[in-house]
Amino acid sequence: MFDGIGFMELLLIGVLGLVVLGPERLPVAVRSITGWIRAMKRMANSVKDELEQELKIEQLHSDLKKAESQGLKNLSPELQDSIDQLKEAAQSVNRPYKVEEIATGTDSTSSDSTPTETKTDKASNSTEKSDG
């Protein structure tokens, strides 16, 4: 972080800050400055991550266009890797929905049959008691 600043320069900045701000306000000023620096670093890292993600998406898109133009045959290893990554991403996106559909489908049929049986059992029990 302080590539061009040596120990003596940092010491001089500290002494000047102490003289200008005084011992009461210097810790508050240092905390606020470090907070600003952290916020700027966080923002820069998030922008960098977003740009890297966009570049990767753009690269995959251009690889897909190349693969389509070649008819998905005799692809270079780079293009084949890109196609495989896209296939894996598509499968991972569809996978959770399939699991939920299967789980809700089996739960709804088993839960529907149980209350119906209970209702008919109760109805037959009440008619037997009234006859008896």
| Dist. CA 42–CA 37, nearest whole Å | 9
pTM for the predicted model, two decimal places:
0.47
- Residue 132's Cβ-side half-sphere holds a number of Cα atoms within 13 Å equal to 6
If you write DSSP's letter for every residue of 60-117 in order, what string do you get? HHHHHHHHHHTTTSS--HHHHHHHHHHHHHHHHHHHHHHHHHHHHHHHHHHHHHHHHH
Q: How far apart are CA 18 and CA 94, in angstroms?
A: 60
Q: Rounded to an integer, what distance in angstroms lies between the CA atom of residue 120 and that of residue 30? A: 76
Q: Per-residue confidence of the chain (132 residues) as pLDDT tens digits? A: 556 788 899 899 889 999 999 989 999 999 999 999 999 999 999 999 999 999 988 888 887 787 777 776 777 787 778 778 878 877 777 766 555 555 555 554 444 444 444 444 544 454 445 454
